[in-house]
Amino acid sequence: MQQVRSLYGSCMKALIQNTSVSFMLGNVVAYYTKCYWSEKPNELTRKAGASPFDSFQIADVGDVNINLYNLPKACEDIRKHFLKIINTGCIPLALGGDHTMTYPILQAIKEKHGPVGMVHIDAHSDTNDLMLGEKIAHGTPFRRAIEEGCLDGKRVIQIGLRGSGYSTSDYDWAKQQGFRCVQAHECWHKSLTPLMEEVRQMMGDKPVYISFDIDGLDPCYAPGTGTPEVGGLTVIQGLEILRGCRGLNVIGGDLVEVSPPYDTTGTTALVGANMLFEMLCVLPGVIYK
């Protein structure tokens, strides 16, 4: 059996507080994994045709302790923690928490893999230079990542972009870096399987990171999030995107912006757990039956 480990449900403590969400505040609470991960593997294996638990050693490696009142220091702690994980040969899959967390994870990944491609599902581009005067926030991670050489801009695709913004040029900077920006209305009433065929050609065999912001989905499917935007992707389209990543050289991923207190039905946590498991099913070396 291939000795690659992927962590799921990790970094929960590190990323539990949505401290910089700009619309609604909330927590990623423990049942996000506890209530669903223990029940999902067998069901999801049947759905996806994948057997990750027969393919890898899989572990929850615990939380990252951070100072919630010092975001730059918290990011540095996350970077150091993930660098240790990556250097053991693990493929990290992380839960959040707001999207700020992806920035230090990409910093750690850069130290091993250099600039990587990215499949980014989100209602927002998260490429602002500043948010409320701050360089580090949930709306700036990919601007910082490009500036520091963590991402290969020509191999970044953002899917599901929509909603309110700060200016009519919100996506201009990203496009100037080579990003492919697919707005949500371009996805309405269609399968995204053909798009993912293009993505596989775009990414080639070089390292790819997957970042899934739950608000990329329409709030009718995932209402428990800090910055919901109507007119989003369907759950089926989310599955098409992730299953379309099969064959890519995926070296890490995250599922962010789930806030269960804003969804008393637990649907958002359920969808989030399913989506993260789908990431696990497309890691290189997974056995399909």
Pick out the residues of the known binding site. Answer: 99, 122, 124, 126, 213, 215
Bridge partners (DSSP) of residue 120 are 158, 211
- Beta strands of the chain (E only): which ranges? 5-10, 50-51, 57-58, 91-95, 116-121, 151-161, 180-183, 207-213, 249-256, 287-288
Q: Are 229 and 163 in contact (CB under 8 A)?
A: yes
Q: How far apart, in whole angstroms, are the C-alpha atoms of residue 128 and residue 137? A: 9
Q: Is the dihedral of CA 12, 18, 19, 20 positive or negative?
A: positive
Q: How far apart, in whole angstroms, are the C-alpha atoms of residue 89 and residue 80? A: 15
Helix (H, G, I), strand (E, B) or coil at 288: strand
* Residues of the binding site for Mn(2+): 99, 122, 124, 126, 213, 215
Asked if the bond preceding 97 is cis, omega within 30° of 0, the reply is yes
Q: How far apart, in whole angstroms, are the C-alpha atoms of residue 213 and residue 210? A: 10
